[in-house]
Chain A
């Protein structure tokens, strides 16, 4: 399992774009990068997943540089409802069955 490092917390004002970066220096060739979101008193929810370059869906964008040693989750124009903990996971199909989420990044959106 690739070790990941992400900021413990971030604050942002409503309407701003938020970028959360995750470092994974020992990412393996077969590893994918996955981000989950967890609201208080709820289970985590899948946001986005990618292998290289850029992935975009209706919720977020994921930017992965060519060396894949880091990735950035981008949330456009955040609102108060985006206040949550965001987890970065790195692994392949086998390691995902033994994944540990870590403490994630607690994003607080301020009015």
Chain B
């Protein structure tokens, strides 16, 4: 049981290049999330997917697109990378059970992205 996995672990891009960050979970969770973490800023939600087939914007969605490929996989795409997108990106998932009052997120190890 690997939990939440992310690829790649590290990536360096030039301004204007594109790339896709991959995330997969094997816990049969319904919801998945993408965060970015910058020094002194905490974790900020980029996009989330409450269930397979749905995606919604979080706090900082500009410059990103997402795809919930299936229940297991949730990818984050940077179409034209900018230096401001240099950050550590975390993917997370949660059960989001029906009729539940609360939830718990499980995080991947992160992708460290540098845009030059």
Contacts and interface: CB of A to CB of B under 8 A. Distances in A.
Interface of A: 30, 32, 34, 36, 41-46, 49, 87, 91-93, 96-104
A42 to B, nearest CB: 6
Contacts of B101: 30, 32, 92-93
Nearest to B50: A97
A102 B35 CA distance: 12
A47 to B, nearest CB: 10
A79 B48 CA distance: 35
B102 A43 contact: no
Given A43-B92, A103-B42, A104-B42, A96 B102 contact: yes
Given A41-B110, A42-B110, A96 B103 contact: yes
Interface string B40-62: 11111100101000001011000
Interface residues on B, range: 20 to 34
Nearest to B40: A103
B64 interface: no
A31 B103 CA distance: 11
Given A98-B48, A100-B45, A46 B40 contact: no
27 contacts: A30-B101, A34-B104, A36-B105, A42-B107, A42-B109, A42-B110, A43-B4, A43-B90, A43-B92, A43-B108, A43-B110, A44-B43, A44-B105, A44-B107, A46-B106, A93-B96, A93-B100, A93-B103, A96-B94, A96-B105, A97-B50, A97-B56, A97-B103, A100-B42, A101-B43, A103-B41, A103-B42
